[in-house]
A and B are shown apart, each in its own frame.
Chain A
Amino acid sequence: MLGTPERALASPETMARQRTLFGLDRPLPEQFLRYARNLARGELGESFVLHRPVAAVLAEAVPNTLLLGGTALVASLLLGLAIGVVQAARHHSRTDTLLSAATLVLYSVPVFWLGLVLLLVFGERLHWLPVSGMTSAGLEDRLSSLGRAVDVARHLVLPAASLALVQAAAFARFQRSALVESLDAEYIRAARAKGLTERAVLLKHALRGALAPTLTLAGLSVPYFLAGSVLVESIFGWPGLGRVAYDAIFARDYNVITATALVSGVLVAAGNLLADVAVAIADPRVRLDQ
């Protein structure tokens, strides 16, 4: 049985009226053409359920998801890089083996389950951090702007950590093998031959060489953060794009579903583009005009 958006709205007359109103009684190709025509004019239509323009719903949600996803991306890159460097500096040591095992396990954890575990331990058992939402209800007016920023940051920690820890493991795994492999390269042997310490070789030369693929990987990780936001935002009540997509899917709110897919596609493409530009800046061998 196929789901339909007007099913949630009860009586047959209401359903018929709604179908005509939203143009759902028209043939599918016609509906698609109309959607494409409206899209070309920048019109995303209206939400069937929220009775608000989709553009307004997204305008509220997208910045929140960029805050959550951006924080998680930066945190996972820094953490992944640090773990990878430590492992490569002493590869095949005991520390390396332990960290490899840790990143393998973390890389294999479902992000929504990690979110629930963090929520249970740090939110409910230890009471260190708030468990839901983006701000503390009722506190907004009584806080200074700095106080409000701290409040949002405290709410950000658990959802961002859920997303970041799993991805940091992926970055660390990649970083380690890229660095270890590059330690055999000719330019590294040259750096060693001119008498640099092993530390300088690793941090100045090997890391620089491994930077470009890491940036590309970061750009390619945007879909992961979007998918993760659908799962994690609903756990922590974070009012972002993932939550909007999640709610829209269950309400069969088509205009919102298509718009979130559209925005996700744009964000994925933007991530790849940004990564390409960053690689061109970081790696002198790559030039954009070629």
Chain B
Amino acid sequence: MSPWRLAARRFARNRPALTGAVLVAALVLAALLGPLLTADPLAQPNPVRLQNQPPSAAHLLGTDPYSRDILSRTLHGARVSLVVGIGAALLAVTLGAGVGLTAGLAGRRTDQLLMRGVDVALSLPRIVLLLAVFAVWEEAPAAAVVLLIAVTGWFQTSRIVRASVLSLREADFVAAARALGTTGAGIVRRHLLPHVAAPVIVSASLDVGNIILLEAGLSYLGLGVRPPTPTWGNMIMDGKDVLFSAPWVALAPGLALVLTVVAFNLAGDGLRDALDPRAAA
């Protein structure tokens, strides 16, 4: 049986991991379909009377200070969190794998240059950098948020990939492939990438949750994807001012965030245990 099939079997036998994967699938579905089934998240049907209403049959999770339906906004907010979380993690991992492969395969000088650059980048406080950029760039679209989070988040992956390329480069099966006349590109595609893929997938999946929390932090500060587009972060910001009188406004998006991040972390832990059985404890 191929190592990938074995990993899939290990994942399927891992109850917490499976729970995480099912939850992630459910969240993606909710983000896709939910907004079609619920009210307009921007609608303010009765701005005065419907302000800060507690949960009721008409508004299952209550209404916010602008009299908008919280359930509908929470479902819409899932879109930003999922798109930014998954999108930025994929992009960051691609960038990191690219740089790591280059550093591992190119000569000593390129390698040194890239890795010292990564050292410097790792010492920069990411949040301060992002805060400064988004404070100046007021109308940043979601794509810019994805791009900037990815561009500031690939450094660790590049180190992992470089390290495994350096050790694989000297492995016997690579030497054998070379002796059989496989070209450089062929060796990368057929022999290096499959081995590098496992740690990269694990690092990406464990990163999604952190990125979702990072995006929520930014939009809680009113940065990145701006109001009135609902994000879980800016919904919590709306709830902060009425925290004592209408706590449900901040509660729903916060619980949605915890549930989503738990789901991705469960799935990520499961992938790690399935793909790297030695690390499983």
Interface residues of A (CB under 8 A from B): 1-3, 91, 104-105, 107-113, 116-117, 119-120, 124, 176-177, 180-181, 223, 226-227, 230-231, 235, 245-246, 249-250, 252, 257, 260-261, 264-265, 268-269, 272
A108–B261 CB distance below 8 A: yes
- CB pair A108–B265 under 8 Å, yes or no, is yes
Query: Residue on A with the closest CB to B126?
Result: A223
Interface residues of B: mostly helix, strand, loop or mixed? helix
With A104-B266, A226-B125, A268-B123 as contacts: A3 and B135 at CB distance below 8 Å? yes
Do the beta carbons of A231 and B138 come within 8 Å of each other?
Answer: no
Interface centre among A112, A119, A252, A272, by most B CB within 10 Å? Answer: A112
Q: Is the CB of B213 within 8 A of A110?
A: yes
Q: Are B236 and A124 in contact (CB under 8 A)?
A: no
Q: Across the interface, which residues of A come within 8 angstroms of B266, CB to CB?
A: 104
Query: Contact between B262 and A104 (Cβ–Cβ < 8 Å)?
Result: yes
Say which residue of A180, A261, A272 sits within 8 Å of B125 (CB atoms). Answer: A261
Number of B residues whose C-beta is below 8 Å from A?
A: 40
| Interface residue ranges of B134-157 to A (CB < 8 Å) | 135-139
CB <8 Å contact, B243 and A119: yes
Judge if B129 is at the interface, Cβ distance under 8 Å.
Answer: yes
Q: Is B250 an interface residue (CB 8 A)?
A: yes
Residues of B with C-beta under 8 A to A176 = 281
- Is B127 touching A227 in the complex (CB atoms < 8 A)? yes
Inter-chain contacts of A269 with B (CB < 8 A): 123
In the complex, the answer to whether B132 meets A249 with C-beta atoms within 8 Å is: yes
Q: Which residues of A contact B250 (CB under 8 A)?
A: 113, 116
Assess A227 versus B135: contact at CB under 8 Å? Given A104-B266, A112-B236, A113-B236.
Answer: no
Query: Across the interface, which residues of A come within 8 angstroms of B279, CB to CB?
Result: 177
A73 to B88, CA, bound (A): 29
Please determine whether B209 and A116 come into contact, CB atoms closer than 8 angstroms.
Answer: no
A104 engages B258 (CB within 8 Å): no
